[in-house]
Structure 1
Amino acid sequence: MNPAEIPSYFWGLATLGLCLLIFPKLRPANPLHRLIVSGAAIGSILIYMTWRMVATLDLDTPGSALLSVGFFMLEVCSTLGGVLVLVVLTRRRDRLKDVSGNIRWLHVNRPSAAIFICTCNEDVGILDRTITGALNQNYPAKVFLLDDGRRPEVEALCRRRDVEWLTRPDNAHAKAGNMNAGLATLAARGEMPDFIAILDADFVALPNFMSHCVALFQDPTVGVVQTPQHFFNPDPLQHRIKGHLDLPDEQRFFFDTLLPAKDGWGTAFSCGTSSVVRTAALAEIGGFPTDSITEDMLLSIRMKEHGFVTAYLNEKLSLGLAPEGIGEYCTQRIRWCIGAMQIMRSADGLFSRKGLGWIDRMSLLETLLYWMGSFPFRLACLLVPILYWMTGLTIMDAPIGELATFLLPRILVEAFAISWYSNGRILPLLTDTSQLLVAPEIVAASCHTLLFPGERPFKVTNKGGDRSRTVIHWKLLSRFAVVLLLTVGGMLFGYGSPLAPTFFSDQKGIVAFWSMYNVLVCIIAIIVCVETPRRAEERAPISGTALFSAGDSATPVRLLDISSSGVAFANEGGWRIGDRGTISIRELGEVPAIVARITDRVVGAKILLSPQQQVALTHFQFAGDRMRTPDVSTLGSVLALIRGLALN
């Protein structure tokens, strides 16, 4: 058969068949298999991009040329960032064996350690939980609470929990300045430990955190040990689509897939909380950097310039709070973007003359392209179909058959590769939505910071607080509503107007499919912009029986879950709202309780814990790793998404 006679979709179907046959037989632990997967994905990308450059640019008119070339340049930047990620993913390092091999060194040498808990305005209850985790380590470490809020109630908490409360007269240089002030205090006393752990105010360290991290410092070239951030509450997307039990949080790919790969190349970097730093190396670089509001990433770069590496230990050793609202989510991402751009413009950036190797510069380039390439490209992908429906202008001049021949294999191979590497930790639909929620602000912040890299105010990501009301983010919602209306209106015009046959090209079908995808993204984004009430405290599952005593009677109940403010047990009849008494729970003892909610299957009771019982509950929830969140997504994840959309 003449190749020209082969249906255009044949190559997509052939690629799909090869992916289904080959990818399941490959194993991520095999370095050769990783090379095969990345090679296949990069090859399909290069073939597509070469075809895009030589055969698709529409240069017939100034308007079409500007649109076509402009979109292509954005596509090049975004694609180059993706290719660099695929190159990084060809390696991977697992340091769990290093930990077990170094435990003997740890117990023989017993290096000194301390824990810094950094806080500014977090709730005392959140701090109390974090202090409990820090005090519950199986390796000795003195705990210091660094309070930039200088609050009497936090001082009282520290006295009650027997940890040291450290403050300073001002908040210069934000978190980095706070930690440097803590270092100066210890140095003045002559109490500088060998290693210092950094915990954000909302992160609870599990018992093995210190021992497993410090064990990796047997290697004298290790300056920082970073561990992954896991979250015990749903992020805004998980919460709104009701998929918390099925969907991993959107940072799982970064922590579980990308950082182990970067560690394989020696380019892993500190992410702030849940890390441990060698104080001798810290003194050599002059303390925590204050040149960027993301001092953690810059810390690793400075360490690298002085011969120290950041080791990434991919083990769940702490649990914290994900941003609970869209506002907090956007604040956090914008801060990360500004900090990364400050680093790019600094003396330690991409074109630094300091001791950075080519692989370190490649890693910085990948970071730059992520912030400067992927977000503008996402915006363009949302807006280009609207422009097509309004004006008929296209981003490429190519028959739909050729587009299918070159684009389908690229999409399929790249999607299968990322899914294979991440073990299902990425759902493209949600990734696109999460990026578009903050894309305009990221584009503005990245451009502004590159032009004016001076010190920017550090905005804390608020955690906790009242989440009992519905909050509608009208500015964000209206943005997506306008895009949704323009996209749907454009499609209706394209298929219903008598002008359509002459106004539109033969690519109308592919743009319609593209538009429908954008409509789905907009619908999800609009749903996420309406924040519904959520529990003030996340609950941990608890099994066994307890006795609910009221007056002279004691009723056995089957426990289901528990938090610091409530407990749920099976409804086996006879309960009324307002029933009061005490519930005797093995892990906590007797707790005052009042029935507040009754359904066909569950009874919910409010409880009042003493300070000692609160500590015991934290031990129960976190020491046993009961606050579980999903690590991979499955078909159930997709079904949960569809169900969540239907319910909303």
Structure 2
Amino acid sequence: MPDVLLFSQLGSSTVHLLLVLGVGLTLRSWVNVHDTLHRSILLGIGFLLAVRYIWWRGTETLAPPGLTLDMLASWSLFALEFLALMGSVSAFVIMSRIKIRSAEADAHEGWWGETEPRVAILIATYNEDLEVLERTIIGAKFLRHRNKEVLVLDDSRRDWLRDYCAQQQVRYMRRPDNKGSKAGNINHALDRLAEDPVPPDFVAVLDADFVPHRGFLGRSLALFHDPDVALVQTPQHFFNADPIQHNLGISQSYPDEQRFFFDHMQPCRDGWGIAICCGTSSICRWSALREIGGFPTESVTEDFMLTLALQERGLKTVYLSEPLTEGLAPEGLKEYVTQRARWCLGLMQIARSSLGPLSASKLRLRDRWSVIDSIFFWMTSFPFRIAVVVYPLLYWFFNIIVVDASLPDVITFFGCYFLWSFLVLRTLMPGMFVPILHDVSQLIGAIAISRAAFTGMFRPKGHPFSVTAKGGDRTKVTVQWALMRPFLILLVLTLLGLTIGILSDRFAFNDAGDGKWVVIFWTIYNVFVLTLTVLACIELPRRERHIADLPDRAVFVVEGDIRRQWISAMNMDEARLRGKIYPAGTEAKLRIAKIGDIPATVIAETVDGNRIRLMPTPDQREALMLRFYAEGAAPGIGRAQLGGILAGMGRRLSFSSRR
């Protein structure tokens, strides 16, 4: 009889799941992703399913009250899950609206008339190499907007950079100290600009590794037709793969981690009037900056705080969702984790600042909600991700039952909520959410980010600004043992617990009742997540490549022999050609439209052509930089491709086995 009852319950719960699946698969055929009503209905159903799920968790799955380890583990996990779910619900509310401003930018292009507004372009730099800085400086110089001035703000006081700026005819600034880090550097430049005979009308900010596209200023300035707009933020795109994409071999099939925020969350935030400044790739009205006294220095994430400072004065931040700049994603895993921990720390500093959600400032309720939503994301998502990996081990090794739930109930309550959320995200933001890879990207920085969250919340002051290192030698395989070690230990313990639990009853006990199904599911799932996390900690060699480039035609000239060939790969120093094969050492010229004849030497023969070394003139080098970074569409991958992900990870595992 118990087996018959179980199968009956499983059948009923499966019907619920199939109903959700059937409705969810029809969404793409009738949902208008830009319609607020459609978005609200889908996400409202998700909200109801979330409430239904968390009510079930709180009333039917927890250990009974008492001074027991079961209660401590069960209730602590529920508390973490409840807080993380509150963050998800807040995100659902934000995603119920969306605003795309491209049509507005079209309608108000050139609103200023014949006299272009004057724009100061600030490039803040600390320790970047010339190879990183030159493409940003060149890109800024060749923006189509004519009435501009490029300023390089050097917080390392390097003479070679001063000389390079003089050569490029751009303005160079340094200051006597590094007080206030990046925000202080920019504020020093603003004070110097205020002393000029004619101050700028607008100030654009670029990180040292971000290259503006030719139309960056014109498109962004169009939105300042509204006098209440103080700041326009544009998305950040990256011409290189981030460490997770690169180390897992999926840079051609899986979008970088920032695409979700910049392509989807920021337009949704703009729909609510709570878009935020993200530092680089933004433009601010000069008068607004002077009114608030420059960039805030209470937080290491001065950009978000700048939005709050402007909003307190009734000045708006808006978002233009167009690829108008591209930059360098962190190339190393340590830098990737350090950057995100800094963002987390900065947000916690804002929470405790004079512009925090509980402060006596004049911020709107929605601005306070904006900060609270970010607090929930940083303080709950990452600790909960660690807990999901750790808590199943409590059962395998200590017989501690964390979730006591039958399999049919898990399918009915959790399965329906998760499946509906997945199908809604698949509809509203296709290709953004691949469950296991999403969890890998969270888990890999979870320890450092959780530490930063609680440190920043309880001790917000006295933390130095951590600059994300750029450049350096990336030509060797590097194992990030310090990052890998905790995940490797957790993987071994998870496999050990699962194995012993299956083969023996010495460690895994048989009295967990229905809760064992939950433990087994999460244990197997965690094996996959932890395996990929460990693999991502093995950094593969990198070479410069331009992931947005498509094969292009060019002319290869060798002593009067003129051949049209395909360029299959190209960077500033080398190219791969498909066509007639020439012996190594052959002197030639590569003729490219709008660039000219670039002197070249054949380095080696390939199966279908040659690999050549390029020796461009200074003018040709500038033209190549503009071609690679300042022109064309957004680099990178916009949505996940399942077949490509599986093939890429297959090649990655093959590479590991060969070593």
TM-score (norm 2): 0.94
1:41 aligns with 2:50: no
Give 1:516's aligned amino acid. I
1:130 aligns with 2:136: yes
* 1:18 aligns with one of 23, 29, 38: 23
1:496 positional shift: 0.5
Please give the residue correspondences for 1:455-470 in structure 2 after superposition, counting only pairs within 5 Å: 455-470=462-477
Please give the residue correspondences for 1:468-507 in structure 2 after superposition, counting only pairs within 5 Å: 468-499=475-506, 500=508, 502=510, 504-507=512-515
**Residues 349/626 of structure 1: CA separation in 2 closer, same or farther (3 Å cut):** closer
Cα distance in 1, alignment partners of residues 651 and 310 from structure 2: 45
Give the equivalent residue in structure 2 for 1:543. Answer: 552
**Residues 313/189 of structure 1: CA separation in 2 closer, same or farther (3 Å cut):** same
Give the equivalent residue in structure 2 for 1:90. Answer: 96
1:594 aligns with 2:606: no
Structure 1 counterpart SS, 2:32: coil
Cα distance in 2, alignment partners of residues 566 and 6 from structure 1: 61
1:448-506 alpha-carbon deviations (Å, 9 max, x no partner): 11111113111111122221111110112222111111101111111100445635433
Mean CA deviation greater in 552-561 or 142-151: 552-561
Please give the residue correspondences for 1:112-261 in structure 2 after superposition, counting only pairs within 5 Å: 112-140=118-146, 141-261=148-268
Gaps of 5+ in 1: none
Q: CA RMSD in A?
A: 2.0
Q: Report the count of equivalent residues.
A: 646
Give the equivalent residue in structure 2 for 1:566. Answer: 574
1:411 aligns with 2:415: no
Please give the residue correspondences for 1:391-406 in structure 2 after superposition, counting only pairs within 5 Å: 391-406=398-413
Structure 1 counterpart SS, 2:12: coil
**Residues 180/60 of structure 1: CA separation in 2 closer, same or farther (3 Å cut):** closer
**Residues 53/9 of structure 1: CA separation in 2 closer, same or farther (3 Å cut):** same
Structure 2 counterpart SS, 1:605: strand
Cα distance in 2, alignment partners of residues 369 and 602 from structure 1: 54
1:583 positional shift: 3.1
Cα distance in 1, alignment partners of residues 9 and 537 from structure 2: 48
Mean CA deviation greater in 415-424 or 534-543: 534-543
Give 2:571's aligned amino acid. S
Cα distance in 2, alignment partners of residues 105 and 8 from structure 1: 59
1:104 positional shift: 3.9
1:294 positional shift: 0.5
| Contact 1:541–1:562 under 8 Å retained in 2 | no
Give 1:486's aligned amino acid. L
Cα distance in 2, alignment partners of residues 159 and 189 from structure 1: 19
Give the equivalent residue in structure 2 for 1:71. Answer: 77
1:644 positional shift: 4.3
| Contact 1:571–1:599 under 8 Å retained in 2 | no
**Residues 68/526 of structure 1: CA separation in 2 closer, same or farther (3 Å cut):** same
1:52 aligns with 2:57: yes
1:543-568 alpha-carbon deviations (Å, 9 max, x no partner): 22322426x75655332232111111
Cα distance in 1, alignment partners of residues 250 and 296 from structure 2: 39
1:21 positional shift: 2.6
Give the equivalent residue in structure 2 for 1:346. Answer: 353
1:23 positional shift: 4.7
**Residues 451/602 of structure 1: CA separation in 2 closer, same or farther (3 Å cut):** farther
Give the equivalent residue in structure 1 for 2:641. Answer: 634
1:30 positional shift: 1.5
Give the equivalent residue in structure 1 for 2:316. Answer: 309
Structure 2 counterpart SS, 1:406: helix
* 2:530 aligns with one of 522, 534, 537: 522
Cα distance in 2, alignment partners of residues 553 and 424 from structure 1: 47
* 2:87 aligns with one of 66, 81, 92: 81
Structure 1 counterpart SS, 2:590: strand
Give the equivalent residue in structure 2 for 1:7. Answer: 12
1:318 aligns with 2:320: no
1:422 aligns with 2:429: yes
Identity %: 36
| Contact 2:555–2:562 under 8 Å retained in 1 | no
1:270 positional shift: 0.2
Cα distance in 1, alignment partners of residues 522 and 251 from structure 2: 28
Cα distance in 2, alignment partners of residues 449 and 180 from structure 1: 24
Mean CA deviation greater in 459-468 or 629-638: 629-638
Cα distance in 2, alignment partners of residues 60 and 492 from structure 1: 31
1:309-368 alpha-carbon deviations (Å, 9 max, x no partner): 101010110010111110110111011011000000001001011111221111111100
Give the equivalent residue in structure 1 for 2:516. Answer: 508
Mean CA deviation greater in 307-316 or 558-567: 558-567
* 1:284 aligns with one of 291, 299, 324: 291
1:36 positional shift: 1.0
1:428 positional shift: 2.2
1:412 positional shift: 0.4
Cα distance in 1, alignment partners of residues 254 and 91 from structure 2: 23
Cα distance in 2, alignment partners of residues 366 and 27 from structure 1: 26
Gaps of 5+ in 2: none
Give the equivalent residue in structure 2 for 1:110. Answer: 116
**Residues 164/305 of structure 1: CA separation in 2 closer, same or farther (3 Å cut):** same
1:203-235 alpha-carbon deviations (Å, 9 max, x no partner): 110111101111111111111100000011111
Cα distance in 2, alignment partners of residues 190 and 636 from structure 1: 59
1:394 positional shift: 2.1
1:369 aligns with 2:380: no
